[in-house]
Amino acid sequence: MTRILKRNKTIIKVLVWLLFFVYIAMMVYFLFFSEKYGRTVSDEYHYNLMPFSEIRRYIVHYDVIGFKGFMLNIVGNVVAFIPFGFCIPLLRISYRGFLNVLLDGVLFTVCIEAVQLVLKVGSFDVDDMILNTLGAVIGYWCYKIAYRIYNRFDK
């Protein structure tokens, strides 16, 4: 019975790594190459260093920006990082703490924003970092809930 449990955990670990790799590949595509989401190369640097200014703009000017623009920017930035926060604790036991996931979320999103700035693709936006990190935290809490449910049924 113990061999079967170890085998199942190994299969789950491999599947999580595979899904995480697919997730990262999709993120790279949508963040750096997808023209549908406004990713065009520019000759200028675009950046926002004022926390909550873009978030506020999307809320205040919702009537002009519209539902689709609001969902893509505000909700999309949060939802896109939920899988990150969920997968990180599954991939490494030492990363199961809240602070580890929070720091990994911040570092990952800072790297993405820095690459966007250097490559002049999209913009370096501190609000994106806030929303992405919030998504990673939500993903972590989803992981914690799923982990507790799993432990209840595992007993």
| Closest alpha carbon to 90 in 78, 79, 104, 76 | 104
Rounded Cα distance between 90 and 73, Å, is 28
DSSP annotation of 39: -
Residue of 25, 36, 57 lying closest to 128 (CA atoms)? 57
Residues 27 and 35: their CA atoms lie apart, in Å, by 13
**Quick one: tokens of 95?**
């990363």
The pLDDT value recorded for residue 92 is: 82
Q: The whole model's pTM is what?
A: 0.87
Which pLDDT score is estimated for 44?
83
Q: Which two tokens stand for residue 56?
A: 């506020």
pLDDT less than 70: residues of the chain: 1-6, 37-40, 154-155
Instruction: Render the burial of 52-64: b for 16+ CB within 10 Å, e for the rest.
Output: eebbeebeeeeee
Q: Which two tokens stand for residue 82?
A: 């939920």
The confidence score (pLDDT) of residue 123 equals 85
Domain parsing of the chain, residue ranges: 2-154
- Cα dist from 114 to 12, 40, 59, whole Å: 33, 16, 25
- In whole angstroms, give the CA distance from residue 30 to residue 112: 11
